[in-house]
C-alpha cells in the first residue's frame, strides 16, 4: 500500500529552495520532509529551520541541522504542517498535539503556509469530528468554561488531563488545554473571533483561512489545492 504521507512530503519538498527560512510543524509527514532536507547536503547547509514542536526540534538538532527559535526570526519563507481536517477554503482544524498557539505564530510569520497530508484530510466543510482545542490561562479557567458553555450550550467541554502524572496537561506556555466537542456545526468564521475574544483564552485550534495551499496524496496521485474562498 502506498505511503501517502511520504508522497505528500516528496511533493512539498519541491517548494523548498536554498537559503530559505522554513517553519515546520509536527507529525509523520513533517518528519519525512526533514529526512529529505537532511539528505540534500547543499540544502541542509543553507536553510534555517524553525519548529513549533518539541519532537521536531529534537529531531532537527539530532541530525545537526541549522535550528533557530521562533523568537529569533521575523519571517518564514514557508511553514509546513499537517492537520486533522481542512476544507476547500483551506480552513483547518489542528486539535491533536495541543501546540496550536506556537503553530499559529509560525503560520502567521510565513509568506506561504502549506498544509500536507493524505486525501482523507480534505472535507467539503469542516465538521464536528474533531474538537476545537483552546489554551487557557490557569487563573481564567472557571470564567472561560462558563463563557464557552453559555455561548455553546450544546457543546461538551473537557479539560485535558495527563495520563502519566496526576493533574491537568500543561501546555509549553504553562497554560491549560481544553477540548470543545460540538454537536451542532458552528459558524466557523464567527467562531474564529468569538472564542478568541473570551478573556483568558490564549488561542484556539481553528486555523481559519490561514493556509495558502495544500499538498495531498491519494489514490489519484498528488493534488495541489489552492483555496476557494468566499467573500464574507
The residue assigned the cell 518564514 is 76
Domains of the chain by start residue, with CATH: 4-124+208-225 (3.40.50.1360), 132-204 (3.30.70.260)
Render each residue's pLDDT in the chain as its tens digit; 232 residues. Answer: 789 999 999 999 999 999 999 999 999 999 999 999 999 999 999 999 999 999 999 999 999 999 999 999 999 999 999 999 999 999 999 977 889 999 999 999 999 999 999 999 999 999 999 999 999 999 999 999 999 999 999 999 999 998 888 999 999 999 999 999 999 999 999 999 999 999 999 999 999 999 999 999 999 999 999 987 665 4
Of the candidates 21, 15, 186, 41, the residue with the CA atom closest to the CA atom of residue 106 = 21
- Residues contacting 197, CB < 8 A, separation 6+: none
- At 146 the three-state DSSP class reads helix
The residues pairing with 116 across neighbouring beta strands, listed in sequence order, are 215
Residues with active-site annotation:
103
Rounded to a whole number of angstroms, the CA Rg of the chain reads 18
Terminal Cα distance for the chain, rounded: 42
- Please tell me the distance from the alpha carbon of residue 75 to that of residue 177, in angstroms, as a whole number: 28
- Residues contacting 56, CB < 8 A, separation 6+: 24, 25, 26, 30, 31, 34
- Please tell me the distance from the alpha carbon of residue 188 to that of residue 2, in angstroms, as a whole number: 34
pTM for this predicted structure: 0.94
Question: Would you give the DSSP letter of residue 122?
Answer: B
- Cβ(90)–Cβ(212) below 8 Å: yes
Amino acid at each position: 500500500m502506498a505511503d501517502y504521507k511520504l508522497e505528500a512530503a516528496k511533493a512539498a519538498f519541491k517548494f523548498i529552495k536554498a537559503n530559505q527560512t522554513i517553519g515546520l510543524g509536527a507529525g509523520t509527514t513533517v518528519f519525512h520532509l526533514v529526512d529529505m532536507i537532511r539528505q540534500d547536503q547543499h540544502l541542509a547547509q543553507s536553510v534555517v529551520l524553525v519548529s513549533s514542536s518539541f519532537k521536531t526540534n529534537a529531531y532537527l538538532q539530532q541530525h545537526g541541522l541549522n535550528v533557530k527559535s521562533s523568537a529569533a526570526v521575523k519571517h518564514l519563507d514557508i511553514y509546513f504542517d499537517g492537520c486533522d481536517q481542512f476544507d476547500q477554503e483551506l480552513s483547518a482544524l489542528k486539535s491533536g498535539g495541543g501546540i496550536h498557539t506556537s503553530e499559529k505564530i509560525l503560520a502567521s510569520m510565513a509568506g506561504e503556509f502549506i498544509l500536507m497530508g493524505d486525501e482523507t484530510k480534505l472535507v467539503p466543510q469542516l465538521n464536528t469530528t474533531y474538537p476545537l482545542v483552546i489554551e487557557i490561562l490557569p487563573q481564567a479557567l472557571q470564567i472561560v468554561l462558563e463563557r464557552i458553555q453559555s455561548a455553546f450550550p450544546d457543546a461538551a467541554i473537557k479539560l485535558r488531563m495527563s495520563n502519566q502524572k496526576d493533574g491537568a496537561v500543561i501546555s509549553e506556555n504553562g497554560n491549560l488545554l481544553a477540548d470543545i466537542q460540538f454537536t451542532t456545526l458552528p459558524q466557523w468564521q464567527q467562531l474564529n473571533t468569538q472564542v478568541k475574544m473570551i478573556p483568558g483564552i490564549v488561542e484556539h485550534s481553528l486555523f481559519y483561512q490561514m493556509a495558502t495551499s495544500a499538498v495531498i496524496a491519494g489514490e489519484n496521485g498528488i493534488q495541489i489545492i489552492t483555496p476557494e474562498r468566499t467573500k464574507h
